[in-house]
Structure formats: structure tokens, C-alpha cells
């Protein structure tokens, strides 16, 4: 077996498997690579050009005035770079970052502890912010607007309110379901942006950068092949690149060319449109079990043995983008292109 090639990032650090004794979990090599492959600043962040132009103005103006930037909300499907943007904002402003998530802040005291630990100008990143409990969200309103905490001490008639000042900070919120962010919370963000799926040419640039960091010789047509099957998602593109690299190593191929990329992606169940096993199962249910008929989300969920929320948030947006599925008032319907992709005869479905 050939020795593993360590990855050296820009700062010269070598990434290798290690055990996190605090959490008891093993930090895998791939998990560390995910961090190493993240863009370090806006110039390294590829794609989303409109958002980058706007964000440069927001952050640049705050730096010029020596102020903390407005609170920022990033929405969009998983894997498009919302977490990376939080760290980029911190780096651009030269401040620290505190990371948490909506489900982790289950009680008011949890949020109060996080806010009290912030330093002046810090970035507080809350992932899945739409899942904040209502009492926690209401406490966050005051912290975002007035940079203070109103803590209630005691119960009943003897209860009193203690007002605590907290350092000025910037909240960066991320959500995969923008519609579930309450209007009062959404209105307190000074900048909001929805990230879109990436174009294949942007994904090619991301793959070339990642390949250089991984020490992989990736040819242009192979990069194009991986990009076209990455569902418009940088996280998936990097994941597929690592699997292609593994395939090349095992088969003693020093260069990842088009043939290697195709064979590797086929082995890992990713077809030429980027559809995986669950995507194809969804289309088969629509085209074979319910040909030409709309199917409700709950029925579809039962048929493919997948959570309804996961279908709606993860799989459906990509299938709709590819023109394979449409949502109607009565349910989900496969398009003619879906039948063609499965090699089936159309039964009078919706046009492309």
C-alpha cells in the first residue's frame, strides 16, 4: 500500500487523524480536510458574485467607520458555503468567532452564557437559526438591537429583572429554511442573502483549487465531469473529489483523467446528472408507481423510506432545478425529462 500523502494548508499545518480528548470523538482525516479546503477570505470564495460584491461593501464600510457590521443572515440549501462565510466575515473584520446552532440553544440560559462570553466586535454564528426556541429568540431580539440582556432573577412577586450590558457583536445566522425564520427575527438582520446553487464552471474552479491542496493532478475534462455531477454544491464537489482521489490511489493511477473520474463516480452511485440512489428512487416512484399522477409529500416519503423534511429540503430542490420534478397544488409530478432519464415512455406528463 502506498503511503498516505499528508495535506499542507496555506499556514503550513499538516492535517492528520487525531483524537479529540475533550469530546471523546475521533476527528477524521476527511473532517479536517473539510476545514482545510474552506476559503479563507472573500477573494478565495468562488461563485456567488452578487453576494460577494454586496458583502464587500457592508464589511468595508464597517471597517472604515471602525464599527461592527450589521447582523447578517444567509439562507440556502446545505453545502453552499454559509458556515464558510461566517468565518470569512470574522477574518475580514479581524475578530473572533463563536459557533453554535439553533437546536443547541435550548434554554434562555444557554444563549445568555454564549452572549456573556463574547468580546467586543466578535462574530456569533448560529447555524439552523430557524430552530431557535421562542423564549431564546425573544431574548436574542434585545441582544441584537440594544446589546443588553434582561435576566429575570427569582420567581413570583419577588422576581426582579437584572439588566446586563454585553459587547457589541455581529450575529451571522444561517438557515436552510428561510420561510421558517420568524418575521421579527428576520427584520433585525441588516443584510440578508439567499445563496444559489453553483454553476458548473464555478465548481470546476473550486475543484481545481481543492485538487491543488490535496496534491491531486486533476485534468480539465475530469474536473468538468465531477463538477457536472456535484448537484451545484461545493461541499459535495469536494466530497466527490476525495472519493475520486481514493479510487485513483487504489487503482495506482497518478493522474485523474476523464476515464478515472467516470469509473469512480459510477462506482459510488452518482450518475451523469448527479443523481444518487435516493434521487433515482424518488423518480421511479413518480414514474412507475404513480405514472402521470401527482403524489403528496407524505406518500412519497413513505414510498422511498425517507423523512419528509429531508425530501423537501435536500432532494426536491435539485430535482426541480434539473427539470425532473415539479410541485403542483395536488402534489409532486415527474416531468418528461424524468421519464427519458429513466428510459421510460412518457404518459402525458408535464413538459420540460
The reply to whether domains 200-267 and 277-342 share a CATH topology is no
pLDDT, position 321:
86
Q: What is the pLDDT of residue 29?
A: 55
**CB 321, CB 266: distance < 8 Å:** no
**Fold adopted by 200-267:** Helicase, Ruva Protein; domain 3 (1.10.8)
Which one of 83, 170, 233, 335 is the catalytic residue?
A: 83
Closest Cα partner for 88 from 40, 55, 120?
40
Give dist(CA 166, CA 119) in Å, integer.
8
For 195, phi and psi rounded to 5 degrees?
-75, 140
**pLDDT at 12 (0 to 100):** 36
Q: Which of 38, 82, 322, 332 is catalytic?
A: 82
In this prediction, residue 22 carries a pLDDT of 37
CATH number for domain 37-194, candidates 1.10.287.40, 3.40.50.300, 3.10.20.880, 1.10.10.60? 3.40.50.300
Contact 174, 195 (CB under 8 A): no
- Of 38, 235, 322, 332, which one is the catalytic site residue? 235
In the prediction, which pLDDT does 154 show?
65
Which of the following is catalytic: 122, 127, 202, 279? 127
Q: How many CA atoms, within 13 angstroms, populate the side-chain half-sphere of residue 6? A: 8
176 is an active site residue: yes
Q: Is 127 a catalytic residue?
A: yes
Give how far Cα 304 sits from Cα of 191, 229, 281, 298, 308, Å. 38, 22, 6, 10, 10
**What pTM was computed for the model?**
0.81
- Per-domain boundaries in the chain: 37-194, 200-267, 277-342
Residue 235 annotated among the catalytic residues of the structure: yes
User: For position 88, what pLDDT does the model report?
Assistant: 95
User: Domain 277-342: which topology?
Assistant: Arc Repressor Mutant, subunit A (1.10.10)
Listing DSSP states for 127-169 in one string gives ETGGG--HHHHHHHHHHHHHSEEEEEESSGGG-EEEEEE----
Give mean pLDDT in consecutive 10-residue pieces for the chain, a chain of 352 residues. 36 37 44 75 93 95 94 93 94 94 91 91 95 93 90 70 86 93 94 93 95 93 95 93 95 93 93 90 93 91 90 88 91 93 76 46
Residues 344 and 141: their CA atoms lie apart, in Å, by 53
Amino acid at each position: 500500500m502506498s503511503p498516505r500523502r499528508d495535506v499542507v494548508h496555506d499556514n503550513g499545518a499538516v492535517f492528520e487523524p487525531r483524537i479529540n480528548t475533550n469530546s471523546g470523538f475521533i476527528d477524521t482525516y476527511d473532517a479536517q480536510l473539510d476545514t482545510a479546503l474552506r476559503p479563507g477570505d472573500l477573494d478565495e470564495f468562488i461563485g456567488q458574485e452578487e453576494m460577494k460584491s454586496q458583502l464587500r461593501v457592508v464589511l468595508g464600510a464597517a471597517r472604515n467607520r471602525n464599527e461592527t457590521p450589521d447582523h447578517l443572515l444567509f439562507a440556502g440549501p446545505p453545502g453552499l458555503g454559509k458556515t464558510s462565510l461566517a468565518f470569512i466575515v470574522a477574518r475580514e473584520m479581524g475578530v473572533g468567532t463563536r459557533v453554535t446552532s439553533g437546536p443547541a440553544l435550548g434554554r434562555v440560559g444557554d444563549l445568555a452564557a454564549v452572549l456573556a462570553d463574547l468580546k467586543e466586535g466578535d462574530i456569533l454564528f448560529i447555524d439552523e437559526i430557524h430552530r431557535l426556541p421562542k423564549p431564546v429568540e425573544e431574548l436574542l431580539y434585545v441582544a441584537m438591537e440594544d446589546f443588553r440582556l434582561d435576566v429575570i432573577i427569582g420567581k413570583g412577586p419577588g422576581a426582579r429583572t437584572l439588566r446586563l450590558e454585553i459587547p457589541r457583536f455581529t450575529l451571522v445566522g444561517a438557515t436552510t429554511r428561510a420561510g421558517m425564520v420568524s418575521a421579527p427575527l428576520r427584520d433585525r438582520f441588516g443584510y440578508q442573502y439567499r445563496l444559489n446553487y453553483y454553476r458548473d464552471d464555478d465548481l470546476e474552479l473550486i475543484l481545481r483549487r481543492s485538487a491543488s491542496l490535496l496534491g491531486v493532478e486533476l485534468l480539465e475534462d475530469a474536473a468538468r465531469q465531477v463538477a457536472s455531477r456535484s448537484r451545484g454544491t461545493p461541499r459535495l464537489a469536494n466530497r466527490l473529489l476525495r472519493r475520486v482521489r481514493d479510487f485513483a490511489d487504489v487503482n495506482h493511477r497518478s493522474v485523474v483523467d476523464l476515464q478515472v473520474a467516470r469509473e469512480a463516480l459510477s462506482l459510488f452511485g452518482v450518475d451523469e446528472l448527479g443523481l444518487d440512489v435516493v434521487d433515482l428512487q424518488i423518480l421511479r416512484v413518480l414514474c412507475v408507481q404513480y405514472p402521470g399522477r401527482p403524489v403528496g409529500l407524505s406518500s412519497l416519503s413513505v414510498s422511498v423510506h425517507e423523512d419528509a423534511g429531508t425530501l423537501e429540503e435536500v432532494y426536491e430542490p435539485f430535482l426541480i432545478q434539473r427539470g425532473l420534478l415539479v410541485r403542483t397544488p395536488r402534489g409532486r409530478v415527474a416531468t418528461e425529462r424524468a421519464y427519458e432519464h429513466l428510459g421510460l415512455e412518457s404518459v402525458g406528463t408535464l413538459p420540460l
